[in-house]
Amino acid sequence: MGESMQELGRIYWTRQGLRLAYSAVMVWLAISVMTALMPKESPAGGAGPSSAAEVLRGLADSVIAAVTLPGLAVFVLFILAAVIGAQDVRRRDPVRRFTRQQRRDGMARADGRCELEAGFGRRCARPAEHGDHFYPWSKGGSTSLQNFVAACTRCNRAKRARIPSPGQQQRMERRRRDYLPPSSSVSVGERQPLP
């Protein structure tokens, strides 16, 4: 039995934060390099660099000094991303394909219609052709009815292996209240525990 998706917010925002931090550090790195390459005023009348080799050496030194800190930050982010990626792989459900029964139940639950979002939080109107993992299989999503969403070909393609946002999850559960019988659960999403 996997974990339900109450903690989807934490998972989603951790990864968004990492992505944002990576972009910020890349900008920091670029600015540092450009600043280091900017020509510096040599002291008037003083002993400036006497040869081209010295100029280049000076430039290389200042570039290395400038990229040390942002470079370290890139390295740390890289390690964090690698740890998260490795955990996703360890979580993977050994079964990737939904069983016939899960597919039948999931499609019946959705009344054969795509359950994904068609803009402004509305439900897509097209007929469902695929059983999709709401929380992506490649990121550790369970191959279970709890993680099954009915999808049309277009939505299935557009969704890819992105982790859904907490807002998408909330809206899907709200939409499900409209078409599921009151007795059945509207909650969606399940992730495998770490083995």
Question: With CB under 5 A as the contact rule, which of the stretches 70-78, 79-87, 109-117, 140-148 interacts with Zn ion?
Answer: 109-117
Q: Mark the segment that binds Zn ion (CB under 5 A) among 11-19, 74-82, 136-144, 151-159.
A: 151-159
Helical pair 52-91 and 8-37, crossing angle rounded to 10 deg: 170
Q: Which of 8, 11, 155, 172 binds Zn ion (CB under 5 A)?
A: 155
Total number of residues that touch Zn ion (CB under 5 A): 6
Which range, of 45-53, 82-90, 108-116, 130-138, touches Zn ion by CB under 5 A? 108-116
Helix pair angle (8-37, 166-179), 10° resolution: 150
Question: Rule CB under 5 A: is residue 152 a binding residue for Zn ion?
Answer: yes
194 is written with which tokens? 């770490």
Which residue, 8 or 116, has its beta carbon nearer to Zn ion?
116
Distance CA 27, CA 118 (A): 34
CB of 124 to Zn ion, least distance (A): 3
Comparing CB distances to Zn ion, the nearer of 124 and 163 is: 124
Residues in CB range of 47: below 8 A, 6 or more apart: none
150 is a site residue for Zn ion (CB under 5 A): no
CB-CB neighbours of 46 under 10 Å: 6
The token duo for 146 is 């709890």
Whole-angstrom Cα distance, residue 110 to residue 176? 8
Does 172 help bind Zn ion (rule: CB under 5 A)?
no
Q: Where in 61-100 is the site for Zn ion (CB under 5 A)?
A: none
b/e per residue 102-122 (b: at least 16 CB within 10 A) = bbeebbebbeebbbbbeeeee
| CB of residue 79 to Zn ion, shortest distance in Å | 38
- Is 114 among the residues that bind Zn ion (CB under 5 A)? yes
Chain positions contacting Zn ion, by CB under 5 A? 114, 116, 124, 126, 152, 155
